Amino acid sequence: MREYPAGDDALLLDFSGHDDPASAAARAATALRRAADDGLLIVADVVAGAETVLVEALPGTGVNELGVRRVVHDLAADHRRADDPASSSGDPAVIATVYDGPDLAAAASIAHCSVDDLIRAHTAVLWRVQFMGFAPGFGYLIPDGSSEISDIELLAQIGRRGQSRPAVPSGSVAVAAGYSAVYPRESPGGWHLLGRTTRRMWDSSAVPPAVLSTGSTVRFEQVRA
């Protein structure tokens, strides 16, 4: 882990040199949030990225008062899977999905498998929210470490589309470059669309407004149209 100052009151933790930077960043972000909830760490915010975590101190406190190093180093010293804070985020959110997306056959061809095998792999994997971004309620999902390696490798073969769509329908279930996601509203997008769900991923009138949050888990369940 490398540390970089981000202004006077924030610290950027960079895990790009880690063997598994995505998982390392997700674990660190979850551990830091948990420490803050337990009163062991006073922070303004913890923002997870693909391979980084931004930790913001309260204005004027400075990064040296954060205690970030202690929390992250304690996490690194504990290799017991049962105590991994990223794997104990409650029951997964179940996303009922109709697998009839316009890119389903093309994605299966890229992965050198049948459509049925692609659907089986996508529904078999336990997905975890690595970070939120792109649009309100949009969670970048990565396979949890408990998932079958063969399913993870199959899905990882599917990259982005050669050309982005100017409008992807709300509720589209998609994959790209080892990630999966549900588009919470109509927006441009370059991921392969496997199917669709009627579940509303973002509701500004709800508390909380987003179905997903960093560290939470997701399972996709195939349903008929």
Q: Quote the pLDDT of residue 1.
A: 79
pLDDT in tens, 145-183: 788 999 999 999 999 999 999 999 999 999 999 999 999
Q: What is the pLDDT at residue 181? A: 97
Strands (E), 51-191: 52-56, 93-97, 127-132, 139-143, 165-168, 172-176, 179-182, 187-189
Which pLDDT belongs to residue 86?
A: 42
Return the percentage of the chain with pLDDT > 90, whole number: 52
Predicted confidence band of residue 87 (pLDDT cuts 50, 70, 90): very low
pLDDT of residue 66: 61
Query: In the predicted model, is pLDDT for residue 133 greater than 90?
Result: no
Could you tell me the pTM of the whole model?
0.76
For residue 89, pLDDT beyond 70: no
Grade residue 65 by pLDDT with cuts at 50, 70 and 90. low
- The CA-atom distances, in angstroms, between 50 and each of 17, 22, 28, 123, 129 are 13, 6, 12, 23, 10
